[in-house]
Amino acid sequence: MPSTFRHAALVGKYQASGMRHLLEDIAHFLVRQGLEVTLDEDTALNTGITGFASLPAHRLGSECDLAVAVGGDGTMLGLARTLARANIPLIGINQGRLGFITDITLHEHEAALAPMLRGDYEEERRTMLEGGVWRDGAPIFEAFALNDVVVSRGASASMVELKVDIGGQFVSNIRADGLIVASPTGSTAYSLSAGGPILHPAVASWVMVPIAPHDLSNRPIVLPDSGEIRVEIVSGREVSASFDMHSLASLLKADTVVVRRAPYQARFLHPRGWSYFATLRRKLHWNAGGAPAPGP
């Protein structure tokens, strides 16, 4: 049966040991399935792979109709930020440690990919965040995130004070080490370690989580993702904003970090039978020590 897709982008965590051999195996497998393969330019240069075409990451969306990420969740996050605007579906092969969103294991990748390339898969869409930093009434920094936006103090600085407005309404001034605004995808990342709840990806919401707040009554809060969140720096030194722990902006007093829902979503493809709850069971070790939970 012919492939549903015609041209796959292949991106790898090129710093990982043995990545060249693995990527070449996957690329040849995709070719045998009838797909043209183009590597991300950085992946090709850093692995020394020369047997396939390569393009800068920002051009992959205009040439390919599928993207395969090989690495950890960080690799998948970067690819999602790059390709979401092009509406390209993503498949993740886990070569990292955790793998919440790279859910195909290395040892089963050919068996999992073959039916998916023929159209037998489950698709889900994940909400993304967009925003930036405003200073003196003008934007000075813009970025996108799939996981979270974090405003935090420097390593050697004391806590920060942040003024939070949601949907044009004042919420509170928070004194803490920082503040996380996370999507459902990001609710199992930094937000979870800071005490935030897990949000199901189908729920149209954000979670806002203070990091080590001065007032213990400042608790995580789940918010609809339809409103704009504005975080103004009231006081603090060495304050920064990061988008998926990747894009960083240094902040001054009165700077405002703006976060809202992006106008596009990340598309993830999973093997048939994939379950979000099975992923949570495996990755968070639920039922550890007890009887195996039913389901895939």
Q: Strand, coil or helix: what is 193?
A: helix
Distance CA 164, CA 209 (A): 12
CA distance 207 to 199: 8
Quick check: helix, strand or coil at residue 61?
helix
User: b/e per residue, 136-172, with b = 16+ CB within 10 A?
Assistant: eeeeebebbbbbbbbbbbeeeeebbbbbbbbeeeebe
pLDDT of residue 292: 55
pLDDT for residue 43: 95
In degrees and rounded to multiples of 5, residue 256 shows phi and psi of -125, 130
Catalytic residue among 40, 73, 225, 244: 73
Radius of gyration of the chain (CA): 20
In the structure encoding, which two tokens stand for residue 113, read together? 């990919």
Q: Is 97 left (phi over 0), alpha (psi -120 to 50) or beta?
A: alpha
So what's the pLDDT on residue 290?
A: 53
- Whether residue 65 lies in the annotated active site: no
Instruction: Return the pLDDT at 287.
Output: 74
Percent of the chain that is helix, strand, coil (3-state, to 5): 25, 40, 35
* Model-wide pTM > 0.75: yes
Closest by CA position to 68, among listed 96, 88, 45, 86? 88
Per-residue pLDDT of the chain (296 residues; tens, 9 = 90+): 677 999 999 999 988 888 999 999 999 999 999 999 999 999 999 999 999 999 999 999 999 999 999 998 999 999 999 999 999 999 999 986 767 888 898 888 999 999 999 999 999 999 999 999 999 999 999 999 999 999 999 877 789 999 999 999 999 999 999 999 999 999 999 999 999 999 999 999 999 999 999 998 899 999 999 999 999 999 998 899 999 988 788 899 999 999 999 999 999 999 999 999 999 998 888 976 555 555 55
Local structure of residue 289 (DSSP, 8 states): T
What confidence score (pLDDT) does residue 235 get?
Answer: 94
For the chain, list the domains and their CATH numbers: 7-119 (3.40.50.10330), 128-263 (2.60.200.30)
Check residue 18 and give its pLDDT: 85
Say if residues 145 and 183 touch (Cβ distance below 8 Å): yes
pLDDT of residue 293: 52
